[in-house]
Amino acid sequence: MAKLFTKVKKYLEANSKTISEFEEENIILQNDSDGKGDYIKSWNVSGLTEPTEEQLNSYESSAQTEENNNTIRATRKSAYGDIGDQLDEIYKDIDAWKARIQSIKDANPKETE
């Protein structure tokens, strides 16, 4: 199940808003550790009403895909290694570098929406 943060982000994007709404503290998410999970504590986004549970749930699939792809990107980044080492590898043997990078991508494919 996708995180509330990601579903709210998708809702914002679908309504021509940006993630900066979180950074500006126009949206505050909270979890009271009562087993009920995260919820929207405060919503002050100009020109956009707070989403209903149904609206947020409509973004479940795309939000889950985004979270999965973020995990895949992190896995790839770790497997690629240091950029300096990669540049050295390219200089010494670009074909070996291409094959190594492709094998990492093949082992960690991104999802499509």
Whether 5 is covered by a domain: the verdict is yes
pTM more than 0.85: no
CA-to-CA distance for 80 and 68, rounded, in angstroms? 18
> Does position 112 have pLDDT exceeding 90, yes or no?
no
User: Tell me, what CATH number does 49's domain have?
Assistant: 3.30.56
Residues 79-106: b if buried by 16+ CB within 10 A, e if exposed: eeeeeeeeeebeeeeeeebeebbeebee
Answer yes or no: is 23 within a domain.
yes
Domain range spanning residue 30? 1-58
Return the ∠ at Cα 105 (arms to 78 and 8), rounded to 5°.
75
In a domain, 43, yes or no: yes
Q: What percent of the chain has pLDDT over 90?
A: 96
The answer to whether position 27 is within a domain reads yes
- The 10s digit of each residue's pLDDT in 58-84 is 999 999 999 999 999 999 999 999 999
Split into its structural domains, the chain has a count of 1
